[in-house]
Chain A
Amino acid sequence: MKPYRSRLKIIMDILEAISLHGGKISTILTYANLSHDRCVKYLEELLEKGLVEEGADGYALTERGYKFLQELKRAERLAEAFGFRL
């Protein structure tokens, strides 16, 4: 059975994909493991919240998005250490 991935984890995967592998939509789809429609929906939400920005080379993390990703990573480590799921 495929493990359940929460909304927060999906957002984290998208932000991490952009941070590590660049912001082309095909790259994000691959690394975040999402369908095109769902990915676009999430990206629209992230754009709206100012966590990502759209440029010539695709999407990029904003300063706020980068900080949010760092906080999420810390939260994930804390969750894992105590045995919670993010």
Chain B
Amino acid sequence: MPLRVILGYDIVMSFVSSAAAFIISYYAYRAYSVTKKKSFLLLQLGFTFAGFGLLLDSILLSAAILSRIFHLTTTGYTLYFALTVIAYVLVLSSYAVDKFEFSETSIPSLLPLIGFGALPEGILLTLAGAITIQLGLNFLLNRSVDKLLIFMAFAFIFFGHLFFMLQAIRFAGFLILGHIFRFLGFASFLAFILRVVKPG
């Protein structure tokens, strides 16, 4: 099993990313409370799971450093992996639900394309890739800055998983890129939310 390197700033990045995920989750919940659309509920749950995954990982990484009990990093990653898989499946499911509600007009759902690789980052990469394609189609169908930001967010997260996977295989140098790209993804979500809540 490849060694998981702790860089210090990756804990901060994960923490900030989890905050971004919780903010998106909150706005998805608000959207659900006014519209009662199930796709918003699934989106809210998806981002809640993603937020908890990142938060627990950053907490357990910090705990591992402070207590010098380094197997906590494995526990942290296990929780992060499980919660992120659930999060991505929920986000993908939201498209299936939306397609069911608007069968004539919505963009095609990519839910059946989910595949499973041997490595955990490969699985996350596959799921994030499916969401990125879905959002890319959405952006190409009718372009707007909001759609571009959401597409970019998942595209960055996708590349983050790609770099994490490459790092886990053999290329240690990709670790920093992985963290930066995942952080940029959540920063794009924040930029989108700032545009939406901006008055006027």
> Could you tell me which A residues sit within 8 Å of B by CB distance?
3-4, 6, 8, 68, 71-72, 74-75, 77-86
Residues of chain A contacted by B95 (CB below 8 angstroms): 83-84
Q: Which single member of A4, A6, A82, A85 contacts B43 (CB below 8 Å)?
A: A82
Give B contacts to A, CB under 8 Å: 27-28, 30-31, 33-35, 37, 39-40, 43, 94-95, 98, 101-102, 104-107, 134-135, 137-138, 141-142, 144, 146-147, 149-150, 192, 196-197
- Other contacts beyond A80-B142, A84-B98: 11, CB < 8 A: A74-B27, A74-B30, A74-B31, A79-B31, A81-B144, A81-B146, A81-B150, A82-B135, A85-B101, A85-B105, A85-B106
B196 touches A82 (CB 8 A): no
Across the interface, do A75 and B40 meet the contact criterion of CB distance under 8 Å?
A: yes
By the criterion CB–CB under 8 Å, are B98 and A78 in contact?
Answer: no
Closest B residue, CB atoms, query A1: B104
Across chains A and B, the number of contacting residue pairs, with CB separation under 8 Å, is: 76
**What residues of B have a CB within 8 angstroms of the CB of A83 in the complex?**
95, 98, 106-107, 134-135, 137-138, 141, 147
Chain B residue numbers with a CB within 8 Å of A3 are 105
Output the residue of B40, B95, B107 with the most chain A CB within 10 A.
Answer: B40
A residues near B101, Cβ cutoff 8 Å: 85
Contact B196 A85 (CB under 8 A): no
Secondary structure at the A interface, as helix, strand, loop or mixed, is: helix
Query: Across the interface, do B146 and A68 meet the contact criterion of CB distance under 8 Å?
Result: no
Residues of B within 8 A of A75 (CB): 30-31, 34-35, 40
Q: Which residue of A lies closest to B141 (CB)?
A: A83
Closest chain A residue to B139 by CB distance?
A: A83
In the bound complex, residues from chain A placing their C-beta under 8 Å from that of B135 are 82-83
24 A-B pairs within 8 Å (CB atoms) are namely A4-B105, A6-B102, A8-B35, A68-B34, A72-B34, A74-B30, A75-B34, A75-B35, A78-B27, A78-B43, A78-B196, A79-B31, A79-B35, A80-B146, A82-B138, A83-B106, A83-B107, A83-B134, A83-B135, A83-B138, A84-B40, A84-B94, A85-B105, A86-B35
Q: Which residue on chain B has the smallest CB distance to residue A71?
A: B34
CB closest chain-A residue, reference B149: A81
Chain B residues with CB under 8 Å of A71's CB are 30-31, 33-34
**How far is A34 from B135 in the complex, measured between Cα atoms in Å?**
32
Most buried by B among A72, A74, A85, A86: A85
